[in-house]
Amino acid sequence: MSVRALLIAVLSVVCVGAAQAADPIVVKFSHVVAPNTPKGMGAERFKTLAEQYSNGAVRVEVYPNSTLYKDKEEMEALQLGAVEIIAPSLAKFGPLGLRVFEAFDLPYIFDSYAELHKVTGGPLGARMLESLEPRGIAGLAFWDNGFKSLSANAPIRVPDDLRGKKMRIQSSKVLDAQMRALGALPQVTAFDEVFAALKAGVVDGTENPHSNFFTQRMHEVQSHMLLTDHGYLGYAVITNKKFWDGLPGAVRDALARAMREATDYTNQIAKAENDKALAAIRAAGTTEVRVPSAEERQAFKKALLPVHRAMAPRIGKDLIEAIYDETGFDPDDL
C-alpha cells in the first residue's frame, strides 16, 4: 500500500469515528393520539425522513398517546424547551392567548379538505403560523385530521337529542359555544381521559374525527354516532423557536425538508385513514352509526351557524370574512 493510500485509509477511519462519537441532536416529538392515526403516522414519517436527510445528525424520538405530555402540559413544555416538537389540535391554542386558530372550530366553515387547504396552504395560514413567534414558537406546518361526527349514549338525529347531555370538548371557547347552541352542556376533558370519562358516564357524548374515535376505543363506550361532518379537526405542528433558530443551518434545512414531505404525506392519508376507521367502527358493531337525512343535516346547520356571528368579536370579524372569501362560504347561509 502506498503512503498516500495508507494516509487516506487512516483518515477515513478517524472521520467515521468522529462522526459516530458526535452525539446526535435529539428531537422529542410529543403528541396525544395513537400511532395509527394521521398525526401519529405523520410523526413517524417525519422521524424517518429527518434522520435520513440529516445523515444521522438528528435522532427523533416520537412519544404518542400522551406518554410524555398531556394536552395542557405539552404547550408549556414546548415553551420551556423541554420538548422540541408538538402538534396540538387547532382547538388548543386558546390558552396561548391566540384566538385566530379558533376560526378552524367554527361549525361548517369548511365543506371539504380542498376548501380548508385554501386557508392552511395560503397567506392566511402563513400569517397564523407567524403569529406564534412572539410566544417563542415557530409554526412549521398544518396537518390534517378530518371532519367530526357526534356521538352519545343515546340516539342522535336532531340537535334537540343533545339537549341537557354532557358533551366532552377540547379547550376551545368556540366548541363550548357550539355545544351550548345544541342545548348540550360542554365539558373540557384532556384527550387521554376521554375514554374513561365516557365509560364512567362522567360525560354522555363527544365529537371527533373517526380515526380518534376508533383508536381511543370510544366507539366501545358510545352507543350512537351521527355522521354530521359539522366541524374540522386538524393540527399546527410547532417547535420551540429558540431551539429551531439555534440549529446548524444544514440540520435545520434537513428538518424543514423532512417536515414538508411529512406534511404532504399526512395530508394525503388523512381522509383514507378516517374512512378506514369509520369502516372499523361499523364492523365492531358496538355503535349504531347513522347518516343524517338532508332535513337532519339542515337542522344541525340551522342550530350551529349562529355560532359564527356570536364568536366574531372574539376571533375577529375580518379574519372570519377573509376565510369566507378564500373558501367561497356564503354568509347569507348564516
Nearer to ligand LMR, 171 or 287 (CB): 171
Nearer to ligand LMR, 191 or 300 (CB): 191
The pairing of beta strand 149-152 with beta strand 205-208: antiparallel
Burial of 209 (0-12, 13-18, 19+ CB in 10 A): buried
Nearest residue to 86 (alpha-carbon basis) of 96, 97, 75? 75
Strand, helix or coil for residue 154: coil
Q: Does 32 bind ligand LMR (CB under 6 A)?
A: yes
Rounded to the nearest whole angstrom, what is the least distance from the CB of residue 1 to ligand LMR in the complex?
A: 59
Determine the residue with CB nearest ligand LMR. 89
Which of residues 151, 212, 222, 239 is near ligand LMR by CB under 6 A?
212
C-alpha cell recorded at residue 170: 377540547
Rounded to the nearest whole angstrom, what is the least distance from the CB of residue 90 to ligand LMR in the complex?
A: 9
Strand, helix or coil for residue 204: coil
Rounded to the nearest whole angstrom, what is the least distance from the CB of residue 170 to ligand LMR in the complex?
A: 5
* CA–CA dist 84, 40 (Å, integer): 16
Distance of CA 116 to the CA centre of its chain: 14
Nearer to ligand LMR, 54 or 89 (CB): 89
Backbone angles phi, psi at 236, to 5 degrees: -110, 125
Strand, helix or coil for residue 187: strand
* CA–CA dist 222, 93 (Å, integer): 28
Rounded to the nearest whole angstrom, what is the least distance from the CB of residue 209 to ligand LMR in the complex?
A: 8
Rounded to the nearest whole angstrom, what is the least distance from the CB of residue 254 to ligand LMR in the complex?
A: 26
* CA–CA dist 7, 202 (Å, integer): 72
DSSP 210: H
Nearer to ligand LMR, 11 or 196 (CB): 196
**Subset of 82-101 contacting ligand LMR (CB under 6 A):** 89
* CA–CA dist 252, 166 (Å, integer): 45
Q: How many residues bind ligand LMR (CB under 6 A)?
A: 9
Q: Does 208 bind ligand LMR (CB under 6 A)?
A: yes
Contact code string over 168-207 relative to ligand LMR, x by CB under 6 A = --x--------------------x----------------
Q: Which residues contact 82 (CB under 8 A, 6 or more apart)?
A: none
Rounded to the nearest whole angstrom, what is the least distance from the CB of residue 135 to ligand LMR in the complex?
A: 19
Nearer to ligand LMR, 119 or 169 (CB): 169
Nearer to ligand LMR, 74 or 296 (CB): 74
**Subset of 121-150 contacting ligand LMR (CB under 6 A):** 145
Which of residues 27, 33, 62, 132 is near ligand LMR by CB under 6 A?
33
CA dihedral for 322, 294, 147, 178, sign (positive or negative): positive
Chain positions contacting ligand LMR, by CB under 6 A = 32-33, 89, 145, 170, 191, 208, 212, 233
